[in-house]
Chain A
């Protein structure tokens, strides 16, 4: 990552980024541009460098912030009308950690409203265009962030991944996208979609940058009790043991009690890695990559994960249930948009939510309310929870035979804008290969793997066991 120092001025880095923001305006990447603040911050960093004062590991690095991260800079809207006018008084833990290291937010990026979607077509602010083909979608939900990195506007961008929202747009635009292990990075201050699958992650153009970003942002946050204790061990960092922190009830109590609470180490010989491919998840690009890795000497194994065929169904029960609950707070009473057309309390709720949510938000809220309603809870929500456990167990079993799994990110490359807007089911099917990692809480790294015949980028993803994030990144750095 290009940081500010005696040779490179932060103000120049920021200025350059802001110029590109302007240049690529028609891609509809940003919902807010932070020009004034960004230049001020850059000047402060340059002054520090000049005086020889210490600066952070991301000094002057311009980055883009997905618009579902809370910070007082600009409105945090999650690209939803119902949050318009909301400026947050608090800063997300992950944002604070980045800013403490000197990273400079250039702007907030477009997403499908509340991260519901795979194309950014569900954004209140309109669709973001694909970096390689303006007639196609950027992917989603973190489409704006992916394109901002793909077009080299910023050096990295934040994203959130609930069912593929980082990996799919990374794949569509030809950049790296990491969805870390569930609980690796604090969710505090990130507009929630589905609490049990939401992950904060990043887009970069180099795999090694992911390592730096993880070592800065990962770790236990007392404000998020689902974060894992001292989680990330960078391949560059000190190798030290972390004591298990599972006993106390006031400590991090990971959802998964099976692992031992220790960070996995990057210690083994890279060449001994065994790579699994899943029988039902294949593509030409994948075959090519497999041949390449095999030629390099890696052992390739085909594994069968039969319960994966339930993953999409489980996802579209569990996630709507959680998000319908998480979106209950948007009622027009305390912040954001409030319908002008309301004279009674029930009008206020109904009209605010009817006018403030996008159709896809409403669709998912209705599904969620349905599967949680008494009489259907056991048949849907509970059954999905049980199936989810089976999926988790099956992955665990698979990782006894292989170290990583290599799969496509999505069944298709970037599709045409408008192509699937009226077919929600087709849109949901785009997630079939990305949601399993979220359900199982596994880290998954999407990387550029090639192009289609008509020049569209295609990515693949590498999945590892829980807490293998550092290994995944190191492997990608050296071999992908």
Chain B
């Protein structure tokens, strides 16, 4: 039992994977593009430019809201949040302070913890600054990228739950197809509010906000560090300051950035350039119908078929889960095994970027194993070949044949090979030992048959024939 109860609320910024920006017509995907090449006069904030709301971003926000089990507010509005910084060309960010598009909802963690969502709102991202010794450079490619900011209730009470909540959000946003989910490139960023209080205390303690975390691990570590830091302060009878702190992955520590007194007055006001957003009920219905399968759907679908620990690992890979859902249920267990044991093995990590095998390829592969046409080793080999550019479009059988991996199942052929082996003088002693009751020499004899068949004999059948012959 810890001395203090920790209370955590998390704000998460999610970049929406729209084609164009939230308020302009330029490319929203600046990956691999030179700085300031995806910038329109609107993003650049020329005088007289007006925002033009991107319908796709609104639709994605609705989808995201549904994934969060949230009510969708059919009427919402935009507001301006002001501050001066070169990453914000207009001098204000268009956001939704008073009437957000996404209302209350909840996220259920694998542990069973339910985290309520207070609301989520649609807003634009800012640009990016790179600082050098005597100057700074501004890149506005990201300025105007649509974001939703998901604000949780303070329902989280451990570093692990904080991590799992962020992870579950990541899954929900990627599964619902609204976010590319590239954490390294800031597709999702977390602000974590942490406070400590004596167990049973009526009021929450003073909170510190750790800004801009971009991995699940840093969320977990930052929370753990803050628990230590704040509990030491409280132990000494000192007060926790309400402030914004930054977290360094390198040191594992948080450091003060800005106290409440220094916080800015954002001078919020309604955005007069955009009319109120009125959504038709039919849009929400349509998005409900087309909502992709979410982690909870997969848990329901594969509960009992795939062991929970493997399922939770696979859930980190939306494309694998989508593929699993495609293949016939009766093959799911074995395909899941292949995915987790072969594809997720460290040496094969690069394959995850390649297109996955087709439903037919996978189903045939498991069928052929079950029919005895492929050994378990051969199954692995064929599976890996699916990722080969040359092989990707070939059928399972073609690949197996080309690799000469089809097992010899024909009893007559096998019997003949067995006879040859048994009558081979080199095996005379082994045959005699087996007949006198030594079970372990059977393995040697099977091996000899396999060798004689150039590895193609079905070991189970060989085993059976050998036992027959040597009775």
Contact = CB atoms under 8 A, between A and B. Distances in A.
A360 interface: no
Interface string B198-228: 0000000000000000000000000000000
A415 interface: no
Nearest to A252: B275
A163 B277 CA distance: 27
A369 B274 CA distance: 21
Nearest to A69: B48
A224 B92 contact: no
B44 to A, nearest CB: 6
A325 B273 contact: no
A335 interface: yes
Interface string B226-237: 000000000000
Interface stretch (A21-29, A87-95, A139-147): A87-95
A189 B48 contact: yes
A189 B48 CA distance: 4
A113 to B, nearest CB: 12
B283 to A, nearest CB: 8
B84 A223 contact: no
Contacts of A192: 47-48
A166 to B, nearest CB: 17
B443 interface: no
A322 B89 CA distance: 17
B55 interface: yes
Q: Give the size range of A's interface with the partner.
A: 35 or more
B46, B51, B86, B265 interface centre (most CB from chain A within 10 Å)? B46
B58, B90, B283 interface centre (most CB from chain A within 10 Å)? B90
Interface string A87-121: 01110100000000000000000000000000000
A249 B90 contact: no
B50 interface: yes
Contacts of B268: 372, 377
Contacts of A454: none
A187 B276 CA distance: 18
B48 A247 contact: no
Q: Give the size range of B's interface with the partner.
A: 35 or more
Contacts of B49: 90, 188-189
Nearest to B80: A325
Nearest to B264: A374
A450 to B, nearest CB: 37
A8 to B, nearest CB: 34
A402 interface: no
Contacts, number: 119
A235 to B, nearest CB: 29
A21 to B, nearest CB: 25
Contacts of B275: 225-226, 252-255
B277 A249 contact: yes
Given A190-B48, A328-B90, A334-B89, A372 B269 contact: yes
Interface in B33-86: 41, 44-53, 55, 58, 80, 82, 84, 86
A22 to B, nearest CB: 30
B138 interface: yes
A253 B278 contact: yes
Contacts of A369: 267
Contacts of B41: 89-90
Contacts of A225: 50-53, 273-275
Contact of B50 (A194, A224, A334, A377): A224
B161 to A, nearest CB: 33
A90 B44 CA distance: 12
Contacts of A188: 48-50
B389 to A, nearest CB: 42
A329 B52 contact: no
A226 B280 contact: no
Contacts of B92: 325, 328
B425 interface: no
Given A195-B273, A249-B280, A322-B272, A373 B267 contact: yes
Interface string B88-109: 0111100000000000000000
B58 A328 contact: no
B180 interface: no
Interface in A309-352: 321-322, 324-325, 327-331, 333-335, 345, 349
Given A253-B278, A331-B84, A226 B265 contact: no
B55 A70 contact: no
B153 interface: no
Interface string B278-296: 1110010000000000000
Given A225-B53, A369-B267, A374-B265, A345 B86 contact: yes
A86 B279 CA distance: 39
Nearest to A369: B267
A478 interface: no
A333 B86 contact: yes
Contacts of B283: 249
Interface in B396-453: none
5 contacts: A83-B47, A189-B49, A225-B274, A226-B50, A249-B279
Given A252-B275, A325-B80, A329-B47, 12 more contacts: A68-B48, A86-B47, A190-B48, A191-B47, A192-B47, A225-B50, A225-B273, A226-B272, A324-B267, A329-B91, A374-B266, A374-B267
Interface of B: 41, 44-53, 55, 58, 80, 82, 84, 86, 89-92, 136, 138, 265-269, 272-280, 283
